[in-house]
């Protein structure tokens, strides 16, 4: 007989050990991630066997809807268990429903580490009342639906390097030829990393996180999180952040200066993070998100081509599932979100029109 319970503080270490030892383990299901997502309340449900050993777990983030007494709940990349064991899955979801009552949650979202080809799991989720949402090809969901994953289990550095596409090997050697130096730095080097990150965001059109977010991440994961910085003659030119948890290393954030990109520092940074995965005897190096639209005309195709060069497996996850717990409130919140997005779109459009109508100043 198995026993379900809300995770107790005394069981945190056993919980962490279970997440790290599972092939479905993910850093976002670890207790460290709760410290990074400090604006959310964190709870976890665990399933134990008759000997009190954890056999299933799910970390849940809870956040209140602004101006309302209701919350939404989200389990990033959960659950961690035998995903085809109906009893364990049912009990974990039962624990989530108990949390929903406690926190007045109107919805529960989950985006599991499960391939879209797993029809057995998809049917199981449907039997529990979950609805599958989102079939976008680009970055339309909370977590990337399409990633590249490189299996490094039991392989040497030479074997992994030999598997890269020839152009990728060439670009890594270009960086080495130009004596690009990669260093593992502590959080004091965020002062070098973040200006490059903002430069990258401006170039590629994405918003960047504040300093505190990255500080929290490096503090929470300790030696399991690394800030890599690439230097050319002492000048910081690129940087990345990676996390190792259990049998995987994930590449989370990357930034590169507009200058020195011809020296290929990003290729060398990827190789150094892959070497870390090999050193830690991991099974998987995860490059994280790419677009699922593989057309060369897609503006995101360059990212796909860059990561593809390391010869990982193009992986499609099943997507986001929602368990609607209060449909009237869910409809109200969805309507509010659509109105906010429409207002933001109109504001941006009006700002664009006003900018174009301003007379241009003559050059001095």
Q: Do domains 3-137+318-344 and 146-316 have the same CATH topology?
A: yes
Confidence of residue 362 (pLDDT cuts 50, 70, 90): very low
**Under 8 Å between Cβ of 252 and 118:** no
Angle formed by the axes of helices 190-204 and 211-221, nearest 10°: 120
From the list 231, 202, 197, 201, the residue with the least C-alpha distance to 214 is 197
From the list 155, 113, 166, the residue with the least C-alpha distance to 311 is 166
CATH number assigned to the domain with residue range 146-316, chosen from the 4 options 3.40.630.30, 3.30.70.20, 3.90.660.10, 1.20.1260.10: 3.40.630.30
Alpha-carbon gap, residue 271 to 319, rounded angstroms:
29
Maximum mean pLDDT: which of 35-44, 334-343, 349-358: 35-44
Residue 43 has pLDDT above 90, yes or no: yes
CATH architecture for segment(s) 3-137+318-344: 3-Layer(aba) Sandwich (3.40)
Distance of CA 30 to the CA centre of its chain: 13
Q: Which of 101-105, 193-197, 337-341 has the lowest mean pLDDT?
A: 337-341
- The stretch 139-162 carries a mean pLDDT of 95
Alpha-carbon gap, residue 250 to 143, rounded angstroms:
13
pLDDT at 349 (0 to 100): 47
Dmax (CA) for the chain in angstroms is: 81
Start-to-end CA distance of the chain, whole Å, equals 81
Residue 364 has pLDDT above 50, yes or no: no
Cβ neighbors of 266 (< 8 A, separation 6 or more) are: 230, 238, 240, 254, 256, 306
Q: What angle do CA 119, 125, 130 make, to 5 degrees?
A: 130
The 8-class DSSP code of residue 185 comes to: E
**Under 8 Å between Cβ of 239 and 55:** no
From the list 348, 77, 195, 190, the residue with the least C-alpha distance to 356 is 348
Dump pLDDT digits (tens) for 296-345.
999 999 999 999 999 999 999 999 999 999 999 988 887 876 776 676 65
**Domain locations in the chain as residue ranges:** 3-137+318-344, 146-316
Dump pLDDT digits (tens) for 210-219.
999 999 999 9
Report the 10 Å Cβ neighbour count for 264: 23
Residue 169 has pLDDT above 60, yes or no: yes
Confidence of residue 353 (pLDDT cuts 50, 70, 90): very low
pTM of model > 0.75: yes
**Strand partners for 245:** 248
């Amino acid at each position: 007989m198995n026993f379900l319970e809300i995770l107790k503080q005394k069981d945190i270490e056993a919980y962490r050990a279970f997440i790290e030892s599972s092939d479905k383990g993910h850093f976002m299901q670890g207790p460290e991630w709760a410290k990074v997502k400090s604006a959310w309340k964190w709870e976890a449900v665990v399933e134990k066997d008759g000997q009190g050993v954890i056999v299933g777990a799910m970390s849940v983030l809870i956040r209140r809807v602004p101006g309302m007494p209701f919350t939404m709940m989200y389990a990033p990349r959960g659950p961690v268990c035998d995903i085809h064991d109906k009893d364990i899955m049912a009990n974990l979801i039962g624990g989530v429903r108990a949390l929903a009552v406690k926190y007045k949650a109107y919805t529960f979202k989950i985006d599991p580490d499960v391939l879209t080809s797993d029809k057995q799991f998809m049917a199981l989720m449907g039997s529990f009342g979950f609805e599958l949402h989102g079939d976008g090809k680009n970055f339309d969901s909370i977590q990337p639906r399409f990633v590249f994953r490189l299996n490094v289990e039991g392989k040497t550095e030479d074997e992994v390097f030999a598997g890269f596409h020839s152009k990728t090997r060439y670009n890594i050697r270009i960086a080495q030829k130009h004596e690009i130096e990669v260093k593992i730095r502590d959080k004091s080097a965020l002062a070098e990393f973040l200006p490059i990150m903002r430069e990258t965001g401006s170039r590629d059109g994405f918003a960047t996180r504040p300093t505190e977010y990255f500080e929290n991440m490096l503090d929470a994961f300790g030696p399991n999180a690394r800030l890599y910085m690439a230097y050319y003659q002492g000048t910081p030119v690129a940087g990345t952040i990676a996390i190792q948890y259990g049998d995987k290393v994930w590449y989370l954030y990357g930034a590169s200066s507009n200058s020195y990109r011809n020296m290929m520092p990003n290729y060398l940074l990827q190789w150094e993070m892959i070497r870390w995965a090999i050193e830690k005897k991991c099974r998987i190096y995860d490059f994280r998100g790419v677009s699922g639209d593989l057309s060369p005309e897609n503006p995101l195709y360059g990212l796909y081509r860059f990561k593809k060069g390391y010869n990982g497996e193009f992986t499609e996850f099943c997507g986001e599932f929602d368990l609607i717990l209060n449909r009237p409130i869910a409809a109200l919140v969805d309507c509010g979100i659509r109105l906010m997005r429409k207002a933001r779109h109109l504001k941006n459009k009006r700002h664009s029109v006003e900018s174009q109508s301003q007379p241009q100043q003559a050059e001095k």
